[in-house]
Chains A and B, each alone.
Chain A
Amino acid sequence: MSAAPQKTKAGAEKIDVIVSAIVPLNELVTRFEFKRTDGAPFPPFSPGSHTVVEMDDDRRTRLNPYSLMSDPADTSTYAISVRRDDAGRGGSLFLHNRVEVGDRMMLSYPVNLFPLDLRARKHVFLAGGIGITPFMAMIAHLERMGHRWELHYTCRSKALGTYAEDLTLKHPNKAHVYYDDQEQRIALEELLDGQPLGTHVYVCGPKGMIEWVHRTAAAHGWPEENVHSEEFLAPQPGKPFEVRLCKSGITVQVGENESLLEAIERCGVDAPFLCRGGSCGQCETDVVEADGTFDHRDHWLDEEEHASGKKIMPCVSRFVGKSLVLDR
């Protein structure tokens, strides 16, 4: 209709914030709390949402998604808990080493790719390591609404059990923690067996854990739609490669430590995105020409699309070969 033509902006709407607290939780994980710069309340969010944190790292813009783990009913503060990844591309290191209380940052509005199924009669949460974060917000929400839940949380050790003690103290009958170094394991088959009809299971953690839960639940006859998962997909480093953007008429070098999407953005090309983690589909890009091998790492395209070589998700996927031309 074009009543008032407005171009849809890439990415989400943003919120200007100040870092209000930095709380180290253990050797690896630190909580960052934010207040709005304008003093207004934050928008409410649904538990399971993430926000994309924009970091100005020596003029290089980093955009990393983190689960909002504060109580969704508390609109005075947003909080994220970040695990330091020494082998990563530097976003978590920037937060851990460079950010200080009082710094200004930009957060995207919340986006939820891991929502609760509100039809559930009971919610069972399975967390591995830093995968605990979305469940912190979910638990706060369900407690307020008086819904049934239980948590099974595996951590490497007591010393690295982020929020483990808080949770077991507050919810001794609902929060169960398992320490790897004490050889404790979730008895998944028994756990799945004993659940009442209408239970939904949510898993957030390493890839192996997610696959294990899906596989085991399927083998026990659980309907697919009752098992939900969120894997933290961070773009992994890879060999540098070159890409030609035919609509923009430019050629871009993708560095070892940047994603294809970041390289495109660095050149000033306005590309759509949302999750930056390979699952929302927003950055899907058509391949015009390719001589080489794709390194698809997303959850969005199906196997057939991956094999076709006609589409790529530039937020996490890469390319090895002679030449790549994208319709961007």
Chain B
Amino acid sequence: MTIQFNEETFRDDYSFRNSDRAIRRFPFPFHEDSYMYSVNMERHQGGPAGSVYEMRFDVDEHYVSEMQDRALVLSEDPLRCQSLPHMTLAGWDTLELIMVSKSEDYPDLFELHRDGDRWRWINKPMGIDHSFTFLDETTLPCGPLEYITRQAQGDFAVLDQRDDMLYMDAGMVTTQADWSLDFDIGMDFFEWHAPVPLAHEMGIFKRALKFLLNVRQAAPARRLNWTMTVNPLLDTSPENYHKWGVQKATLTSENIGAKQHLRVELQTFHRLPRSNALLFPIRCYLIAFQDLVTIPKWGRRLHRVVRDLPEELADYKGFIANRPLILDYLGRYDDGLPTSPGVWPDLEMEPPLQK
């Protein structure tokens, strides 16, 4: 599989686009016509060919442009990547996991040659050919976590596991849904989840923590999360809220199809072998409403989910003010027909829009 990488931006003129292929493989997160929290975990060991679930770390047409956007964010705010001193080993674990996975899953794009601790890494899309000594930081231009996550899509939280608790002790966070590594660094699992409504009362986090503490080597897990973003912005951070928050007020019934995006996170969980830390990649996928509704089933379903979502969730996900506009738009793509179960587009089975 050779990927044609897009030239596009996630800021200023927002030239970000999804190809037809990217639309069809979009990780639509709703398996039924309603949504509520759950610890919706499953094993992350492959998926249907071509889907975003197939590889350990999905590489798609946005790879090169996302890495350019990350570099821009880091040059303005280096604190988006942090690693407490005891997390360096987990950084090497992360580097190893990503290099091994990508070179095995995309041999035409990435190569890893290992001779004991002497490693050579070739990243063709980014034009990198680098030899270094594994576990020797002096042979890399920056720490191992920063080095490899400047070459991997999605955010990365690296969680130390101590005394039956997880701690946010390292990470690379530039494509986040309004949370801050600099604010959360060193916090425990319950502390960094404190702002989430309803889920605490439902016991979601206690169960989730128990599950995560037991994620085992060679048995990674995954789940999806979602929110809404106006304009295809990767960096919706609290640090830059003054820049992007106001853009939510620019939505009109004329521009909503192009501007309003469904934002889906593919979250995976990997036990790191040398450090026993837990790697938590959070990969962000964006799709404009006007592209999403080209899949009739998704148009119908998204309308019903947004319509029936509890007030607290619409507020927490940041689109409560725009909900009337969103419902007005999506309502045009909901003809009331039933939808097939599951997340897949089902283009062959689902009837076209009947209105």
Q: Which residues of A contact B (CB under 8 A)?
A: 1-6, 8, 12-13, 43-46, 48-49, 72, 109-112, 115, 117-119, 145, 225, 274, 280-282
B2 part of interface (Cβ distance < 8 Å) = no
B31–A1 CB distance below 8 A = yes
Nearest chain B residue, comparing its CB with the CB of A112:
B276
* Choice from A2, A145, A225, A274 contacting B214 with Cβ under 8 Å: A274
B141 part of interface (Cβ distance < 8 Å) = no
The digit string for B312-343, where 1 denotes a CB below 8 A from any CB of A, is 00000000000000000000000000000011
**Nearest Cβ in chain B — how far from A66, in angstroms?**
16
20 CB-based A-B contacts, threshold 8 Å:
A1-B29, A1-B31, A1-B40, A1-B343, A2-B42, A3-B27, A3-B53, A3-B222, A4-B46, A8-B43, A45-B273, A46-B276, A111-B217, A115-B162, A119-B86, A225-B162, A225-B163, A274-B216, A280-B214, A281-B214
A46 to B271, CA, bound (A): 11
Nearest chain B residue, comparing its CB with the CB of A300:
B164
> What 20 additional pairs, Cβ within 8 angstroms, besides A3-B343, A281-B210?
A1-B27, A1-B40, A3-B47, A4-B46, A4-B53, A6-B43, A6-B45, A43-B273, A44-B273, A46-B275, A46-B276, A109-B216, A109-B217, A109-B218, A112-B276, A118-B86, A118-B275, A145-B89, A225-B162, A274-B216
Assign chain B's interface to a size class: 35 or more
A72 to B29, CA, bound (A): 40
Which residues of chain A are near B85, meaning CB under 8 Å?
Answer: 119
* Choice from A46, A119, A282 contacting B273 with Cβ under 8 Å: A46
Q: Which residues of B contact A (CB under 8 A)?
A: 27, 29, 31, 40, 42-43, 45-48, 51, 53, 85-87, 89, 160-163, 210, 214, 216-219, 222-224, 273-276, 342-343
Nearest chain A residue, comparing its CB with the CB of B117:
A73
Q: Is the interface of B mostly helix, strand, loop or mixed?
A: loop
A110 to B273, CA, bound (A): 8
Which residues of chain A are near B53, meaning CB under 8 Å?
Answer: 3-4
Which residues of chain A are near B29, meaning CB under 8 Å?
Answer: 1
**Nearest Cβ in chain A — how far from B329, in angstroms?**
25
**With contact pairs A72-B274, A118-B160, A225-B163 given, residues A6 and B216 touching in the complex (Cβ less than 8 Å):** no
**Nearest Cβ in chain B — how far from A128, in angstroms?**
22
Q: How many inter-chain residue pairs (CB < 8 Å) link A and B? A: 84
A111 to B213, CA, bound (A): 11
Q: Is the interface of A mostly helix, strand, loop or mixed?
A: loop
**Nearest Cβ in chain B — how far from A327, in angstroms?**
16
A6 to B219, CA, bound (A): 12
Which residues of chain B are near A43, meaning CB under 8 Å?
Answer: 217-218, 273
A4–B42 CB distance below 8 A = yes
**Nearest Cβ in chain A — how far from B203, in angstroms?**
15
**Nearest Cβ in chain B — how far from A76, in angstroms?**
12
A110 to B275, CA, bound (A): 12
A13 to B45, CA, bound (A): 12
A45 to B53, CA, bound (A): 26
A280 to B48, CA, bound (A): 33
Residue with the greatest number of chain B CB neighbours at <10 A, chosen from A5, A13, A118, A281? A118
Which residues of chain A are near B46, meaning CB under 8 Å?
Answer: 4
Residue with the greatest number of chain B CB neighbours at <10 A, chosen from A3, A48, A109, A281? A3
A282 to B42, CA, bound (A): 16
A2–B273 CB distance below 8 A = no
**Nearest Cβ in chain A — how far from B106, in angstroms?**
20
**With contact pairs A13-B216, A72-B274, A109-B219 given, residues A2 and B342 touching in the complex (Cβ less than 8 Å):** yes
A44 to B273, CA, bound (A): 6
**Nearest Cβ in chain A — how far from B4, in angstroms?**
24
Nearest chain A residue, comparing its CB with the CB of B92:
A44
Please provide the 6 A-B residue pairs with the shortest distance between their CB atoms, ordered closest to farther: A118-B86, A46-B276, A13-B218, A4-B47, A44-B273, A119-B86
**Nearest Cβ in chain B — how far from A49, in angstroms?**
8
* Choice from B42, B87, B218 contacting A6 with Cβ under 8 Å: B42
Which residues of chain A are near B216, meaning CB under 8 Å?
Answer: 12-13, 109, 111, 274
* Choice from B31, B51, B87, B214 contacting A282 with Cβ under 8 Å: B214
A186 to B186, CA, bound (A): 36
**With contact pairs A12-B216, A46-B273 given, residues A1 and B224 touching in the complex (Cβ less than 8 Å):** yes
Which residues of chain B are near A4, meaning CB under 8 Å?
Answer: 42, 46-48, 51, 53
